[in-house]
Amino acid sequence: MRRKRTAVVVGLGMAAMLAGICSASAALPPYWQRAREIERIVGDQGVNEALNSSPIVSIAVTGDDVYEVRSETCRLTVTIVDVPQDEGMMGPRKFDLELGQAECQ
């Protein structure tokens, strides 16, 4: 009986440890998170329209979750906004884009 109880306690401890590892590994490393954000910005129709369909010449990080996107004639601030995940769901950060007012020449 003592062995069963020890096995159960060890099993529960390992399960808790694995759950902690899974939730900790759910977020993407910073490099890959930034890559997802930039890909989303480049492919966003709203960004394209705000820049008057002028090609992007640079994207720079100007603050926490804030990017400055420049085309040949326009400058646009894009903010990354968290989208709540379903409780208990793991995975990469869900986000949306908030576009500022484009400044064009």
* Count of domains forming the chain: 1
pLDDT in tens, 50-82: 999 999 999 999 999 999 999 999 999 999 999
Which pLDDT value is given to residue 1? Answer: 56
pLDDT in tens, 22-42: 444 468 899 999 999 999 999
Which pLDDT value is given to residue 90? Answer: 79
Residue 19 has pLDDT above 70, yes or no: no
Asked if the structure places residue 11 within a domain, the reply is no
Asked if the structure places residue 20 within a domain, the reply is no
Residue 83 has pLDDT above 80, yes or no: yes
Which pLDDT value is given to residue 39? Answer: 98
Give me the residues paired with residue 103 across strands: 75
Give me the residues paired with residue 61 across strands: 67
What is residue 87's three-state secondary structure?
Answer: coil
Which pLDDT value is given to residue 85? Answer: 83
Asked if the structure places residue 86 within a domain, the reply is yes
Q: Which residue has the higher pLDDT, 10 or 46?
A: 46
What distance in Å separates the CA atoms of residue 71 and residue 97, rounded to the nearest whole number? 18
What distance in Å separates the CA atoms of residue 41 and residue 70, rounded to the nearest whole number? 12
Residue 18 has pLDDT above 90, yes or no: no
The DSSP annotation for the chain comes to: -HHHHHHHHHHHHHHHHHHHHHHHTSSPPHHHHHHHHHHHHHH-HHHHHHTTTPPEEEEEEEETTEEEEEESSEEEEEEEEE-PPPTT--SSPPEEEEE---EE-
Enclosing domain of residue 33: 27-104
Asked if the structure places residue 19 within a domain, the reply is no
**Is the Cβ–Cβ distance between 28 and 80 less than 8 Å?**
no
